[in-house]
Structures are given as C-alpha cells and as structure tokens.
A and B are shown apart, each in its own frame.
Chain A
C-alpha cells in the first residue's frame, strides 16, 4: 500500500524551486526596495504649522539660507530660527495675514512654533552641519534645491551608504566656500582640478571609521 500518493514525488522539487526561485528573490526585492530610506524617507513632506514657502523666500526673494538658519556655520544643527527672526520682515510685510496667525501668537506669547522636522538621521548617528559647510559642501548636495520647493521635502536618503559615497569621493560635492548656500551654483569644466586643490588646501580627509559618526 502506498502511503504517499504519486504527486508527492514532485513536492521537494516544487518547494526548492518555489523557495529559491520565487519566495527568495521576491523577499530580497521587497526588502531591498521597500526597507531602504530611498523608499521610506525620501519624499517625506509634512504639513507645517505655517505654510512657509521656501521657493518664495529662498528662491524668488533670494534670502540667504543663513539669514534664518544662522547657526549652520558654527553648530551641529543648522537651527530653525526663533520666531523673532520672521518678525524682522513680517512686522512690516503681511502683518495681518491669517496664514501668519501662528507666528504672531508665537511671538506674543513666547511660545515656540511646532515646526515638523523633516531631515532626521537615526539617533545613533551624529551629523555636524558646521564641519560640512566649512569643508565646502553645498546645502543643495544633501537637501536638494530648496529654493524651488514650495513645501520642503526630503530629497536624499540620508542613509549610511549615501554618506559614505561622498566620504569616499568628496570632490564632486565640493565647491568654493562662499558658494555653499548658492542653490544654483554649477561646477565648471575644471572642477576636478579645483576640487582637488580645495581638498588639499583644507586638508580634507573625510573619515570612514565607525566612530566618526557613531559614538
């Protein structure tokens, strides 16, 4: 008497092919595609308490990034400006705009505005804006062209592989240090030579050791 019917002869083969041919590759694909910050984080575009328009302020009005993000050259954080900085202009311009009610309330009652943080590296990674700005890495390299974003979104994955790509080959992202906040600066044909010169002039040796970013 046969315990197993005839078709069970094919089970091991089907399982093997199914696992290595279908389940394995598709799981690999799904994890590779959907678990990456390229998918999870890029494009994060939260609704802010005030519909602040970077395309207007940084683009059309050409206000330098550092007018508001004033600590970027000296501190690890670029800093979101205190509401008082907005009032430098908005005590004169659009004084009664309903969109700025949150701002006026913040200034009058000394309460911070709950801006939503967009670019958030994992808490075990310690990024320092000042050192990158001083090295001549443009804002646009990590943040995308903010001057064209009406609502800011995350443009780059900020993943470790992405950081290391630049740490291993920083030259393409270097620029003259007075052009760091310029969103439209383009490297010229002689960029490779210039970048190498800037690199040796500043003694740039981007670290690749774990403890450079993780402590």
Chain B
C-alpha cells in the first residue's frame, strides 16, 4: 500500500516535470510569470482596454470640433485635390520626382493591389477569389482620364464599392499613389 502511494507520487512529479508542457507548446491561457517583477503595471498602453472611460478605450478621441496641431486641412489643393473654385486639379500639387513615384509604387503594392491588381487592371486578389472586379486603372478610359485631383479624391474618400483610404494612407502617400497610378497607365513602371 505504502509502496504504491509513493510510486503514484513519483509518477505525478515525473508527469509534472516532463509530461506536462515542454517549452514552446501552445496554450490559450495567458502567461503566468512566477516572478512577476513589474511586468504588468496599472498603466495605460496603446490600444488597451480601459475600465475608466465610458467607451472602454484607453486611447481618447479628439474633442469634437477641435483639430490637432498640424492637422488642419485648409488647403483645398493639397488636402482635397481641388482648385479654389471647387473643380478638380489636373495635376498633382507637389513636386513629383522618381522618389515620389517609387514611394507611390510601394504604397500601391500595399494598399491597392489586393483589389486593383499589380498591373492596375482591376483584377487583384479580390477578383481571383471572389470574382469581384475593381476599377480598371489602365484600360478604363473613364478612370484613365480622371484629373489627378479626382483620383486623389477617390483614394481619400472612396467611390462606389471602394472605401476611402484617408486612414491608413497619409496625405503625402495618397498623392504619391496618385502619381504612380498615372505612370501605370503610361505603360507600367516609372
């Protein structure tokens, strides 16, 4: 009797040490730090949950009707792609050099190819997988003849089924993408 109890205990210890979980095996339970140090501090980190604010978010929205420093969008040309009379600009209101186009190409690759495809023919991954065709930036004359300002406006605010990309693409990158899309229709890479 005594003997078997001891054996069972030995087995339990062996199981704990060797059978339980080796390094690297997966678990859905949050990590337990045997030595907690100050690993978890009662402070707010980015995108964390808050028990204090009514909306449950640590990160606060700007107060309504306020603008953060440097984020006032009051230049119709650069922020909306429009002239002062409201018509769309024919050209990009900033210097476009090879660097800008290269930046645009890279950003196009990240944000636009899933739908419009690497060639801009409107047949990206969305078409391959779901047979939903997006705007053909190269072959469709309606799109190909858009003034730069309107192209920028569509990127910024969306159009039809396309959502606006004001977030996550910053202002200058949206113009860079506009520049790149215009080189696409002139037959590919700059």
Contacts and interface: CB of A to CB of B under 8 A. Distances in A.
B31 A41 contact: yes
Contacts of A92: 126, 130, 132, 161
Interface of A is mostly: loop
A63 B25 contact: no
Contacts of A44: 26-27, 29-31
A40 B24 contact: no
B87 interface: no
A67 B55 CA distance: 26
Nearest to B41: A123
Interface string B19-60: 001011111111111110111110101111100000111000
Contacts of B30: 44, 46
Interface residues of B, number: 45
B125 interface: yes
Contacts, number: 103
Given A61-B114, A153-B26, A80 B47 contact: yes
A92 B168 CA distance: 19
Contacts of B135: none
Contact of A35 (B27, B35, B129): B35
B37 A43 contact: no
B33 A40 contact: yes
A124 B38 contact: yes
B24 A38 contact: yes
A66 B107 CA distance: 9
Interface of B is mostly: loop
Given A61-B129, A62-B125, A67-B111, A77 B47 contact: yes
Interface stretch (A81-89, A167-175, A188-196, A198-206): A81-89
Interface residues on A, range: 35 or more
Given A38-B23, A61-B125, A91 B163 contact: yes
A45 B130 contact: no
B31 A40 contact: yes
Given A40-B31, A44-B27, A63-B125, A85 B41 contact: no
Contact of B26 (A43, A66, A79): A43
Contacts of A91: 161, 163
A36 B110 CA distance: 37
Interface centre among B45, B47, B106 (most CB of A within 10 A): B47
A144 B163 CA distance: 31
A123 B168 contact: no
Nearest to A71: B168
Contact of A33 (B23, B37, B106): B23
Interface string B138-182: 000000000000000000000001010001110000000000000
Interface of B: 17, 21, 23-35, 37-41, 43, 45-49, 55-57, 106, 109-111, 114-115, 125-126, 129-130, 132, 161, 163, 167-169
28 contacts: A35-B34, A39-B23, A40-B32, A40-B33, A43-B25, A43-B26, A44-B26, A45-B28, A46-B28, A47-B28, A61-B125, A63-B114, A70-B168, A76-B46, A77-B47, A79-B47, A84-B163, A85-B168, A89-B115, A89-B126, A92-B130, A111-B56, A112-B56, A114-B49, A117-B48, A122-B39, A153-B26, A178-B106
Q: Which 4 A-B pairs have the closest CB atoms?
A: A70-B168, A123-B41, A122-B39, A64-B110
Given A30-B17, A111-B56, A120-B31, 13 more contacts: A34-B34, A43-B23, A44-B27, A44-B29, A44-B30, A46-B28, A76-B46, A89-B115, A91-B163, A111-B55, A112-B57, A122-B38, A123-B45
Interface of A: 30, 33-47, 61-64, 66-67, 70-71, 76-77, 79-82, 84-85, 87-89, 91-93, 111-112, 114, 117, 120, 122-124, 153, 178
